[in-house]
Amino acid sequence: MSYLVLARKWRPQNFDQLVGQVHISQTLLNAAKNNRMPHALLFTGPRGTGKTSSARILAKSLRCQNLNEFQPCNQCQDCLDISVGRSVDVLEIDGASHNGVDAIRELRETVGFLPSSGEYKIFIIDEVHMLSTSAFNALLKTLEEPPAHVVFILATTEVHKIPQTILSRCQRFDFRKISTKLIADHLLKICQSENFSITEEALWLIARRGDGSMRDSQSLLDQVISFSTGKIDLDQVSEILGLIHQSLIDKTLEALFHRSVEKLLLVFADLKKTAHEPILFLELLLENLRHVLLIQYGAQSSDMVELPDSEIRYLKSLSTSTTPEDLYFLFDMALKGSWDLQKTSEPYLVLEMILLRMTHSPQMRTLEQLFGQQGSLVAPQPSPAIAQPQPPPPPLSLQQTSQAARAHAAPGPLNSEKWLDFVQQVKTKDALLFAKVENAFFISATESDLQLGVSGKMSFLKDQLLEAQTLAKLKLLMLGFFQRPIGFSLKISNEPPAAPSAHSVEQEKKATQQKNIMDEIQKNPKVMAVADIFKGQIKSVKTKEI
């Protein structure tokens, strides 16, 4: 057959073509430039993320005679032989079919021979986790102290199955799932080069179905192109690959946000026609509820909400008809429903009941909204003064309340008071994050940069707050509060802080309250009489919450 599938035709041939693995390619290039190439490398990560391709590119970089900035030329005989797998000095071994100790013994005998040309002889062992225990043991000594002309490159998708004795002898490189946007952009480049016409939404659907794997996405694109004639659109991709159309999820979200049973019944009819798996439908619904929530908090970049721009704009307009509290509530109901769905023999019936239950659930409202709709929840108490009491001011409307909240969080100079106000808002949003930031104290600030400190006794908080996930959540909340992006840095300080932390302010407040309670109790005539009779004194006071 003369036809070459897209996944092989568009396999990366140098580090510049490797998509979504900049941390790998940059490290390997720097190692080659500084002559610090390790003798054993372990490439691990999900399928289709470029492990074997990177191994071949690295092999070409080590053997190419016409390197350009340590990138292979892909034109010399060595590069061409490695690309097609016929090089005698670059041996690719399949760990699944050569997993016995005899194969490794044969490899050890081959290691001692010098390369037929060039400086290095490279051994690429794919799916290395399939080797037997005896094979791993036979490889240990050679892997730790190979000849100077040998480089081992091990590749695996299941690194947990590799013995620690092997891991400790390799320099490990973790390949990550490729983002949906990068995959979609690369698929668009392929379609333009191959003269295939396809819509952006269709490419995004294929990329999302690839689940971070470039090879899987290219195979799906190959399948779609084979079954389509003319321009490929979203409907064709959904039908060919049996995927859930995003418009069906959008209709479901609209029905849930408006609590419309009529719209939900139309969704049921479409779901029966398409015969999609209920559990997959509910998983996609959970994902989109998360997207809407992040969009409400101001996250509209493709890094956090991996959807095409047209879909992000639609969800942004749809998010105005709901609240974060209601989204949390619907997400919890859908998540609990997914557990029930996995245990039933009638998934369609259970899915319908889950969605109907969500549609009939009460809509969550904030206190500001309740005050704006119903007024104060507590009736005004009559004043004991002789003068006629003044009527209480009318409650703020929802619009006035929102304006007041925006005014409070309007852009302004960053100072310790603003920081304490922000920490109190974090307390209402995320209790776990609040427990970390309440111990951070204000040091200094500029117009858009905030420097905080933690005491040396709590230095462990620095690493926790600077974790990628925690830092992203903190910056997102800062963006919502300060109405602008805020830079963030943290340092350990053993000097007395110039401004108090939220924790110290809270502790001081509690101490003052406790002291006032103690003073009031000690002045009580009955307490004074009891203390006089028993010749005692009050040591401590415990308050009982009702």
pLDDT for 1 equals 52
Asked whether the predicted pLDDT for residue 379 surpasses 60, the reply is no
Q: Residues 17, 166: one domain?
A: yes
Q: Residues 304, 353: one domain?
A: yes
**Coil, helix or strand for 100?**
coil
Which of 115-124, 344-353, 393-402 shows the lowest per-residue confidence on average (mean pLDDT)? Answer: 393-402
Query: Do 474 and 437 form a contact (C-beta atoms < 8 A)?
Result: yes
Q: Residues 40, 64: one domain?
A: yes
Q: Residues 303, 267: one domain?
A: yes
Which of 320-324, 400-404, 462-466 shows the lowest per-residue confidence on average (mean pLDDT)? Answer: 400-404
Distance of CA 474 to the CA centre of its chain: 14
Q: Residues 12, 91: one domain?
A: yes
Which of 86-90, 156-160, 318-322, 397-401 shows the lowest per-residue confidence on average (mean pLDDT)? Answer: 397-401
In the chain, count of helices (H) and strands (E)?
A: 25, 8
Which of 72-86, 156-170, 304-318 shows the lowest per-residue confidence on average (mean pLDDT)? Answer: 304-318
Spatial separation of the C-alpha atoms in residues 408 and 412, rounded to whole Å:
10
Asked whether the predicted pLDDT for residue 408 surpasses 50, the reply is no
How many other CB atoms sit within 10 Å of the CB of residue 484?
A: 12
Query: Do 12 and 24 form a contact (C-beta atoms < 8 A)?
Result: no
Asked whether the predicted pLDDT for residue 394 surpasses 90, the reply is no
Own/partner long-range contacts of 454-459 (Cβ < 8 Å, ≥24 apart): 454/490, 454/491, 454/492, 454/493, 455/492, 455/493, 455/494, 455/497, 456/492, 456/493, 456/494, 459/492
pLDDT-above-70 percentage for the chain: 88
Asked whether the predicted pLDDT for residue 486 surpasses 80, the reply is no
pLDDT for 402 equals 42
Domain boundary among 143, 159, 174: 174
Mean pLDDT of 515-525: 80
Which of 29-38, 143-152, 185-194, 465-474 shows the lowest per-residue confidence on average (mean pLDDT)? Answer: 465-474
525 lies in some domain:
yes
134 lies in some domain:
yes
539 lies in some domain:
no
Mean pLDDT of 442-464: 77
Asked whether the predicted pLDDT for residue 44 surpasses 90, the reply is yes
Q: Residues 39, 159: one domain?
A: yes
pLDDT band at 366 (very low <50, low <70, confident <90, very high): low
CATH code assigned at 202: 1.10.8.60
Mean pLDDT of 274-301: 86
Mean pLDDT of 495-517: 75
Which of 25-34, 153-162, 403-412, 481-490 shows the lowest per-residue confidence on average (mean pLDDT)? Answer: 403-412
CATH code assigned at 69: 3.40.50.300
pLDDT-above-90 percentage for the chain: 23
367 lies in some domain:
no
Which of 81-95, 111-125, 515-529 shows the lowest per-residue confidence on average (mean pLDDT)? Answer: 515-529
Mean pLDDT of the chain: 82
pLDDT band at 330 (very low <50, low <70, confident <90, very high): very high
CA angle (89, 138, 122) in 5-degree steps: 15
Asked whether the predicted pLDDT for residue 329 surpasses 60, the reply is yes
Take residue 446 and report the two structure tokens written for it. Answer: 């500029």
pLDDT band at 158 (very low <50, low <70, confident <90, very high): very high
Q: Residues 193, 210: one domain?
A: yes
49 lies in some domain:
yes
Asked whether the predicted pLDDT for residue 175 surpasses 90, the reply is yes
Instruction: Of 503, 478, 498, 499, give the one whose Cα is nearest residue 488.
Output: 478
90 lies in some domain:
yes
| Higher pLDDT among residues 471 and 5, named by residue | 5
540 lies in some domain:
no
pLDDT for 301 equals 63
Pairing of strands 150-156, 171-174: unpaired
Instruction: Of 94, 93, 92, 46, give the one whose Cα is nearest residue 216.
Output: 46
pLDDT for 451 equals 77
| Higher pLDDT among residues 32 and 496, named by residue | 32
Count: domains in the chain: 5
pLDDT for 164 equals 93
CA angle (252, 258, 263) in 5-degree steps: 45
| Higher pLDDT among residues 387 and 42, named by residue | 42
378 lies in some domain:
no
- CA distances to 116, 436, 511, 540 from 527, rounded to whole Å, are 99, 41, 21, 13
Spatial separation of the C-alpha atoms in residues 91 and 98, rounded to whole Å:
13
Instruction: Of 41, 47, 56, 69, give the one whose Cα is nearest residue 11.
Output: 56
Domain boundary among 338, 359, 380: 359
Mean pLDDT of 204-222: 90
Q: Residues 454, 318: one domain?
A: no
CATH code assigned at 490: 3.30.300.180
pLDDT for 398 equals 41
| Type and span of the H or E element at 395 | none
Maximum Cα–Cα distance for the chain, whole Å? 108
Spatial separation of the C-alpha atoms in residues 168 and 158, rounded to whole Å:
16
Q: Residues 130, 18: one domain?
A: yes
Q: Residues 150, 270: one domain?
A: no
Pick from 82-86, 140-144, 169-173, 522-526 the range whose average pLDDT is largest.
169-173
pLDDT band at 183 (very low <50, low <70, confident <90, very high): very high
pLDDT band at 381 (very low <50, low <70, confident <90, very high): very low
Asked whether the predicted pLDDT for residue 119 surpasses 90, the reply is no
Mean pLDDT of 252-268: 91
pLDDT for 384 equals 45
pLDDT for 401 equals 41
Domain boundary among 123, 139, 174: 174
Which residues form the domain of 30? 6-174
pLDDT for 226 equals 85
| Cβ-based burial of 406 (10 A; exposed 0-12, middle 13-18, buried ≥19) | exposed
Q: Residues 81, 55: one domain?
A: yes
pLDDT in tens, 48-107: 999 999 999 999 998 888 888 888 888 888 888 888 888 888 999 888 888 888 888 888
Spatial separation of the C-alpha atoms in residues 218 and 238, rounded to whole Å:
16
Q: Residues 262, 187: one domain?
A: no
pLDDT for 514 equals 76
